[in-house]
């Protein structure tokens, strides 16, 4: 096998604000792994500074990661590849994920199967992704909500974590009276504030609340979980499978992201660990291209909830992926082998 990578930058359709800040572009480091038969596996890193990564750090470690792939020289020995990636680069999980996705894409292409079929999953057990409404002024959030509804998205995730949270949630609910709504505070609330806020959040028919308190405060998460009027999802508190036992009595839903886990094999381990502890499972994402979102979509048959709108938030994605008409992750129509990611 031989390998290559390149940095790409994608504009977002709208500036995307959460409680920690605003982004207007999404950086990606695209990885390609080629075999001698002319097949190419594609993956991408969507680094997040919150987890200590930038496009620059990904580029810095990528040669060492790709050396592992070339040394193993067997695209179907995914266990050895992912173990080798972690040995040479323990941090930088999105960088390792990019290589993992590319190798899985290549392995499935070599047997001419979509990735879900390579894994033995049922494409009929698929889901609808939520579409995220970032923090903004109330009228802009109303406009973004109406646009999302007009495009057919029936499940919305609303970012909160401001001193005007109720106004913003009320605005979204007014603009989308029939939508399923989820709320994500991105660690912005104190435990007592979270319990109080969730009381009024529940009045707006919200399905669940994601990461209400800081990940560094597990006791606070448990405090909220034990008093919450709504189910609680753990995101920043749940990075890899080893975190699941620590959150199992503190939430209802484990939210994984490929860019946090470090690879597709670890993502599947996290799912199985969460199931073993009686948790529901959601897969989320960063603002990402289909070069990585496509792989996450193939996990849909293993999930209870999906928040895989990363490519939908881009003004223009250079890659196609798994079809998502009106937010439905349509694996049965994913007729290309591998993840389905393809440069347009």
Residue-by-residue pLDDT tens, the chain, 344 positions: 899 999 999 999 999 999 989 999 999 999 999 999 999 999 999 999 999 999 999 999 999 999 999 999 998 999 999 999 999 998 899 999 999 999 999 999 999 999 999 999 999 988 999 999 999 999 999 999 999 999 999 999 999 999 999 999 999 999 999 999 999 999 999 999 999 999 999 999 999 999 999 999 999 999 999 999 999 999 999 999 999 999 999 999 999 999 999 999 999 999 999 999 999 999 999 999 999 999 999 999 999 999 999 999 999 999 999 999 999 999 999 989 999 999 99
Fold identical between 2-112 and 118-343? no
CATH T-level fold of 118-343: TIM Barrel (3.20.20)
- Rounded CA separation 334/109 (Å): 13
Do 297 and 320 form a contact (C-beta atoms < 8 A)? no
CATH class of 2-112: alpha beta
Instruction: Return the residue matching tokens 């008093």.
Output: 227
Distance (Å, whole) CA 162 – CA 189:
9
Phi/psi at 308 (5° precision): -115, 50
Is this structure's pTM higher than 0.75? yes
Q: Would you list the domain boundaries of the chain?
A: 2-112, 118-343
């Amino acid at each position: 096998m031989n390998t290559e990578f390149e940095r790409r930058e994608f504009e977002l359709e709208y500036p995307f604000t959460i409680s920690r800040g605003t982004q207007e572009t999404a950086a990606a480091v695209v990885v390609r792994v080629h075999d001698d038969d002319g097949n190419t596996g594609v993956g991408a890193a969507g680094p997040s500074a919150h987890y200590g990564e930038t496009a620059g750090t990904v580029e810095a470690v990528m040669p060492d990661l790709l050396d592992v792939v070339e040394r193993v020289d067997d695209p179907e020995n995914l266990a050895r590849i992912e173990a080798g990636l972690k040995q040479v680069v323990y941090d930088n999980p999105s960088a390792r994920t990019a290589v993992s996705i590319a190798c899985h894409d290549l392995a499935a292409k070599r047997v001419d199967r979509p990735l879900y079929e390579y894994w033995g999953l049922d494409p009929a057990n698929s889901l609808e992704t939520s579409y995220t409404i970032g923090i903004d002024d109330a009228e802009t959030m109303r406009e973004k909500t109406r646009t999302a509804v007009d495009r057919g998205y029936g499940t919305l995730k609303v970012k909160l974590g401001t001193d005007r949270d109720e106004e913003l949630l009320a605005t979204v609910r007014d603009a989308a009276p029939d939508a399923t709504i989820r709320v994500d505070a991105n660690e912005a609330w104190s435990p007592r504030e979270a319990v109080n806020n969730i009381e009024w959040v529940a009045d707006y028919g919200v399905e669940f609340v994601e990461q209400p308190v800081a990940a560094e405060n597990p006791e606070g998460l448990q405090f909220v979980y034990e008093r919450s009027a709504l189910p609680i999802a753990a995101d920043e508190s749940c990075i890899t499978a080893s975190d699941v036992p620590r959150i199992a009595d503190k939430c209802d839903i484990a939210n994984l992201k490929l860019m946090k886990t470090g690879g597709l094999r670890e993502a599947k381990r996290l799912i199985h660990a969460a199931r073993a502890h009686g948790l529901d499972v959601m897969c989320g994402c960063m603002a990402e291209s289909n070069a990585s979102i496509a792989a996450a979509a193939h996990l849909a048959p293993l999930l209870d909830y999906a928040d895989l709108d990363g490519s939908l938030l881009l003004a223009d994605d250079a890659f196609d992926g798994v079809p998502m008409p009106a937010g439905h992750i349509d694996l049965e129509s994913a007729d290309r082998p591998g993840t389905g990611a393809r440069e347009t």
